[in-house]
């Protein structure tokens, strides 16, 4: 499976593109901004976009959805239903930052704990890991984790925003460190890392 990252928008968010060349299927994870760049990257790989997966619905992770939908009509957007309040108020939050933002239409499919989603022949298991956002999820498969703003190299996601929950974040981190040390973590911001590296050095995981 091919994995491509694009750093997009004012918040320097990581948008991930997964491509299974054998089937031609592609998935975009967290199209946060600059949909023209995201769509161009999808088209350059020559595959067929089958879904948009959202780790959560903060504005810097959903701002490019409508641009992607216009280029690829009918592509379903997947979101955990607990994050729907965050999703529905993204434009209002963006206005508070003074940022241009296109409020996306409602998501098309609900993600759930333990659900298995696919990119071609590659299965990914959905883990519900709240804390940074109530409906925050991670996608785990192909020896990789696409974890949104749960875990960063040397840090974790914020817990001081509306609808964040520090207690839930601590529980999610304790669950996360049960994963294999070699598992590659692709976060919503910053460089990729591994569970083992973060378990050994990340002060938030050491305390977890």
Report how far apart, in Å, the C-alpha atoms of 132 and of each of 8, 19, 120, 172 are.
20, 28, 30, 10
Kindly state the average pLDDT of the residues 192-196.
97
- State the pLDDT at residue 113: 98
Listed in order, strand segments (DSSP E) in the chain are 2-8, 13-20, 25-29, 48-53, 77-79, 109-110, 116-119, 122-128, 137-141, 144-148, 151-152, 155-156, 184-187, 193-194
Calculate the CA dihedral of residues 187, 52, 179, 157 and round it to 10 degrees. Answer: 40
What is the Cα–Cα distance from 171 to 105, expressed in whole angstroms? 32
Q: What is the residue extent of each domain of the chain?
A: 2-207
- Whether residue 195 contacts residue 185, with contact meaning beta carbons closer than 8 Å, is answered with yes
Query: SS3 string of 71-90?
Result: HCCCCCEEECHHHHHHHHCH
Nearest to 95 by CA among 53, 143, 59: 59
- State the pLDDT at residue 196: 96
**Residue 140 DSSP class:** E
- Whether residue 136 contacts residue 86, with contact meaning beta carbons closer than 8 Å, is answered with no
pLDDT at 207 over 90: no
pTM for this one?
0.97
pLDDT at 81 over 60: yes
- Whether residue 39 contacts residue 46, with contact meaning beta carbons closer than 8 Å, is answered with no
Which architecture characterizes domain 2-207 according to CATH? 4-Layer Sandwich (3.60)
Determine how β-strand 109-110 pairs with β-strand 77-79.
parallel
What is the Cα–Cα distance from 56 to 156, expressed in whole angstroms? 15
pLDDT tens for 113-166 read: 999 999 999 999 999 999 999 999 999 999 999 999 999 999 999 999 999 999
- State the pLDDT at residue 7: 98
pLDDT tens for 50-78 read: 999 999 999 999 999 999 999 999 999 99
Determine how β-strand 48-53 pairs with β-strand 155-156.
unpaired
What is the Cα–Cα distance from 29 to 14, expressed in whole angstroms? 9
- Whether residue 83 contacts residue 134, with contact meaning beta carbons closer than 8 Å, is answered with yes
Q: Which two tokens stand for residue 83?
A: 């994050």
């Amino acid at each position: 499976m091919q994995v491509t990252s694009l750093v997009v928008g004012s918040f320097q968010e990581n948008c991930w593109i997964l491509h299974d060349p054998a089937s031609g299927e592609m998935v975009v994870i967290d199209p946060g901004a600059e949909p023209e760049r995201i769509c161009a990257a999808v088209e350059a790989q020559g595959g067929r976009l089958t879904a948009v997966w959202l780790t959560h619905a903060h504005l810097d992770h959903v701002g490019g959805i409508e641009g992607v939908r216009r280029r690829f009509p009918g592509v379903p957007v997947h979101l955990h239903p607990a994050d729907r309040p965050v999703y529905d108020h993204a434009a209002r939050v963006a206005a508070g930052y003074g940022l241009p933002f296109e409020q996306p239409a409602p998501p098309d499919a609900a993600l759930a704990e333990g659900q298995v989603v696919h990119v071609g022949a590659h299965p990914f298991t959905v883990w519900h890991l709240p804390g940074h956002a109530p409906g925050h999820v991670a996608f785990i498969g192909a020896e990789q984790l696409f974890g949104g703003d749960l875990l960063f190299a040397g840090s974790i996601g914020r817990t001081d925003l509306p609808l964040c929950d520090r207690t839930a974040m601590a529980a999610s981190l304790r669950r996360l460190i049960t994963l294999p040390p070699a598992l590659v973590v692709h976060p919503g911001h910053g460089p990729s890392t591994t569970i083992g590296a973060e378990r050994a050095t990340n002060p938030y995981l050491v305390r977890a």
